[in-house]
Amino acid sequence: MINEELELQKFEQKIANGEKIEPKDWMPEKYRKQLIRMIAQHAHSEIVGMLPEGNWITRAPSLRRKMVLLAKVQDEGGHGLYLYSAAETLGADRKDLIEALLNGKMKYSNIFNYPTLSWADIGIIGWLVDGAAIVNQTMLAKCSYGPYSRAMIRICKEENFHKRQGYENVSVLAQGNAKQKQMVQDALNRWWWQTLMMFGPHDENSTNTVDLMRWKIKLETNDSLRQRFINLTIPQAYAIGLTIPDNDLKYNEKTQNWEIGKINFDELYNVINGNGPCNRIRIAERKKSYEEGNWVRIAAENYALKNKNNYGTK
């Protein structure tokens, strides 16, 4: 019989020593549940996140831009697959997770519920959205759960490429003609605050951070990661002549932080509760592709079954 108290002590000692927890190790149910919630929401974000950029593949302004965008969107799909696999190592069923996304029971990142109105939005997503994801995921690459932390290492490498192509795209537009400059500034104005919301509510309103930090799933709080992203990104905007849409923005010499105005968290809650500008379109698109892909799943299941039956006869 398992001695729960002893197992908990051993588990906490491992976490304190900086060791990884692996799928077959004993873990508290709450640790398992928190990980499944976070990893699955992350996986959902990756596959819903393919949609806003995917909209522009046929409209990319050159063959080079089209190839880069195709590769990026495909990478995001791959990230979703690694992450669903990581959730499966915790005993979750991929089918249940996807159904929870499609019937609105599980969340995905707020940021993918906004429309991509111009080509500049594609550069801005690479620069800001992937940039924010890297700041968050570099921390998650050091988290206590082995499969999640290892998935993050590869994902961060790819996200770095995504960010660079986004910043390069934005820089070219920012150095272009007046219309191009206006297009990219307009895109920055529409995505800035929403990207800051990706890091979640302020620490005092974050319901999960205490548990997540105790178990080293998160190593830093929402506000500390958001501040790092802000400090990294503002000089990048100024370097290419863009302005940040925040009248209260100021640099604090003492703390060496950029201080920002007030984030409208009502908007975040509204969007993550299903009422953003594109939530319904995004879920309808995911449902359609899930239904259209059903025959592939059936074929793959039958193939696996057939191979399982043959196993041992060879």
* Cβ neighbourhood burial of 173 (10 Å; 0-12, 13-18, 19+): buried
In whole angstroms, the minimum distance from the beta carbon of 198 to ligand FAQ comes to 4
Q: Name which of 207 and 252 has its Cβ closer to ligand FAQ.
A: 207
Secondary structure (H, E, C), 53-113: HHCCHHHCCCHHHHHHHHHHHHHHHHHHHHHHHHHHCCCCCHHHHHHHHHCCCCCCCHHHH
Applying CB under 6 A, which of residues 133, 174, 184, 242 lies at the interface with ligand FAQ?
133
Q: Which residue is nearest to ligand FAQ (CB)?
A: 49
Q: What is the DSSP string of 114-179?
A: S---SHHHHHHIIIIIHHHHHHHHHHHTTSSBHHHHHHHHHHHHHHHHHHHHHHHHHHHHHTS-HH
CB of 224 to ligand FAQ, least distance (A): 11
Residue 285 found at the interface with ligand FAQ (CB under 6 A)? no
Structural tokens at position 134: 């890297």
Rounded (5°) CA angle 125-232-60: 20
Supply the minimum distance, in Å, between the C-beta of residue 260 and ligand FAQ. Answer: 16
Site mask for ligand FAQ (CB under 6 A), range 260-279, x = bound: ------------x-------
Closest separation in Å from C-beta 94 to ligand FAQ:
17
| CA triple 136-140-143, angle to 5 deg | 155
Helix or strand run (H / E) with residue 186: helix 178-197
Q: Does 198 bind ligand FAQ (CB under 6 A)?
A: yes
Contact 110, 195 (CB under 8 A): no
> What is the phi/psi pair of residue 276, to 5°?
-80, 175
Q: Indicate which single residue of 121, 130, 220, 246 sits in contact with ligand FAQ (rule: CB under 6 A).
A: 130
Q: Alpha-carbon distance 262 to 247, whole Å? A: 10
**Segment lying near ligand FAQ (by CB under 6 A), choices 91-99, 107-115, 183-191, 251-259:** 107-115
Q: Select 58 or 207, whichever has its Cβ closest to ligand FAQ.
A: 207
By the rule CB under 6 A, 109 interacts with ligand FAQ: yes
Stretch that binds ligand FAQ, among 91-99, 170-178, 195-203, 231-239 (CB under 6 A): 195-203
Q: Per-residue contact track with ligand FAQ, 40 to 79, x per CB under 6 A?
A: -xx--xx--x--------------------------x---
Q: Does 200 bind ligand FAQ (CB under 6 A)?
A: yes
Q: Are 272 and 107 in contact (CB under 8 A)?
A: yes
Per rule CB under 6 A, is residue 195 in the interface with ligand FAQ? no
Question: Does residue 212 belong to the site contacting ligand FAQ (CB under 6 A)?
Answer: yes
Query: Amino acid letter at 192?
Result: W
Q: Give least dist CB 299 to ligand FAQ, A.
A: 28
Instruction: Assess 23 for contact with ligand FAQ (CB under 6 A).
Output: no
d(CA 261, CA 174): 25
Strands (E), 157-261: 250-252, 257-259
Q: Which residue from 158, 201, 232, 290 is in contact with ligand FAQ, where contact means CB under 6 A?
A: 201
Name the residue nearer to ligand FAQ (CB basis): 130 or 246. Answer: 130
How does DSSP classify residue 215? T
Contact positions vs ligand FAQ (CB under 6 A): 37-38, 41-42, 45-46, 49, 76, 107, 109-110, 125, 129-130, 133, 136, 197-201, 206-209, 212, 222, 272
